[in-house]
């Protein structure tokens, strides 16, 4: 996998050793990141992803030394290291280098990696209901895209895979649907799209927000509300939105088999039209 990482003012190829055993982020997880995409010559909502990583750093108590515009400039420079049209993942990161328990904000460091990452096929994935739940803001830094949140998501995916599924649907602490372990969730019933209302247990994804706006602009009703797990087994369609694959259908939830449906296909087509229009 071809990759370049910007750190300390220069671009380094491959996987450079920029964290050591004494780095706060290495053992105490004071790292935030974001993910953006470049594909088919487009970098949709790159400015918003760069703005979010700066805000995530602040929300975790770090002191980002770059503005969102400066992060975006570095990201675009990184994309230029690859042939035009290459499918890339763009990952800016801030972390604390020193501190004990709480990271020292004055030690905040920055890196940005850009690497080849093909877009997943639109064939979709399967999902199971996870026994592991998403924390709330009182329990974890859910207002940041923080690395410390991802081991819980990882064990949800591992458990789902042990039962033959690709991904996991996670509930919040009250037992309501939160999101997939790796993406936001939509279900469709009778031509109406429904998605869990942001309640502090998951990030209101940038792709999620974009898809809601695009669907509503196309005259499709989208309801943001509390969603129960039982509704997923009765849905006409389920699809995911997220940076990795943008819009992907679910082909099976637990024992319910699903086909990619018209609302999900519309969401994907609208998103691609938006992205390739130069946004």
Pick the CATH number of 125-276 from 2.60.40.1840, 3.90.1300.10, 3.40.50.970, 3.20.10.10: 3.20.10.10
**Shortest CA distance to 89 belongs to which of 179, 4, 30?**
4
Q: What confidence tens digit (pLDDT) does each residue in 211-229 have?
A: 999 999 999 999 999 999 9
Query: Is a pLDDT exceeding 70 seen at residue 86?
Result: yes
- Tokens 């996670």 label which residue? 170
Q: Enumerate the CATH 3.20.10.10 domain ranges in the chain, comma separated.
A: 125-276
**Shortest CA distance to 25 belongs to which of 106, 91, 108?**
108
Residue 279's pLDDT band (cuts 50, 70, 90): low
Distance (Å, whole) CA 83 – CA 142: 36
Residue 1's pLDDT band (cuts 50, 70, 90): confident
Q: Could you give the 3-state DSSP secondary structure of residue 28?
A: helix
Q: Enumerate the CATH 3.30.470.10 domain ranges in the chain, comma separated.
A: 3-116
Write out the DSSP string of 32-49: EE--EEEBTTB-TTHHHH
32-68 burial code (b ≥16 CB/10 A, e <16): bbbbbbbbeebbbbbbbbbbbbbbbbebbbbebebeb
Share of the chain above pLDDT 70, in %: 100
pLDDT of residue 278: 74
Task: Answer whether 59's CB lies under 8 Å from 141's CB.
Answer: yes
Rounded average pLDDT over 172-182 = 98
Task: Tell me the pLDDT of the chain averaged across its residues.
Answer: 97
**Shortest CA distance to 264 belongs to which of 276, 243, 244, 246?**
246
Residue 22's pLDDT band (cuts 50, 70, 90): very high
Pick the CATH number of 3-116 from 3.30.470.10, 2.60.40.10, 3.40.462.20, 3.40.50.200: 3.30.470.10
**Shortest CA distance to 127 belongs to which of 261, 263, 238?**
238
pLDDT of residue 161: 98
Rounded average pLDDT over 7-36 = 96
Distance (Å, whole) CA 276 – CA 181: 28
Residue 232's pLDDT band (cuts 50, 70, 90): very high
Distance (Å, whole) CA 109 – CA 236: 46
């Amino acid at each position: 996998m071809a990759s370049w990482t910007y750190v300390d003012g220069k671009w380094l190829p491959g996987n450079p050793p920029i964290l050591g055993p004494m780095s706060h982020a290495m053992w105490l997880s004071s790292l935030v990141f974001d993910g953006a995409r470049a594909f088919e010559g487009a970098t949709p909502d790159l400015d918003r992803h760069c703005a979010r990583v700066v805000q995530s750093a602040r929300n975790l108590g770090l002191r980002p030394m770059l503005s969102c515009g400066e992060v975006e400039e570095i990201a675009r420079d990184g994309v230029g290291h690859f042939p035009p049209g290459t499918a890339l993942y763009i990952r800016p990161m801030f972390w604390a280098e020193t501190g004990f328990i709480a990271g020292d904000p004055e030690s905040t460091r920055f890196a940005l990696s850009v690497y080849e990452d093909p877009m997943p096929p639109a064939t979709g994935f399967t999902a199971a209901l996870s026994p592991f739940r998403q924390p709330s803001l009182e329990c974890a830094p859910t207002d940041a895209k923080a690395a410390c949140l991802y081991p819980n998501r990882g064990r949800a995916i591992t458990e789902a895979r042990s039962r033959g599924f690709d991904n996991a649907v996670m509930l919040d602490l009250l037992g309501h649907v939160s999101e997939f372990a790796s993406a936001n969730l939509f279900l469709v019933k009778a031509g109406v799209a429904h998605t869990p209302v942001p309640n502090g247990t998951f990030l209101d994804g940038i792709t999620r927000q974009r898809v809601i706006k695009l669907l509503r602009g196309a005259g499709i009703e989208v309801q943001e509300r509390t969603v129960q797990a039982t509704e997923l087994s009765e849905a006409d369609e389920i699809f995911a939105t997220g940076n990795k694959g943008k819009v992907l259908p679910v082909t099976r939830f637990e024992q319910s088999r699903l086909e990619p449906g018209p609302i999900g296909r519309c969401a994907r087509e609208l998103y691609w039209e938006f992205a390739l229009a130069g946004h």
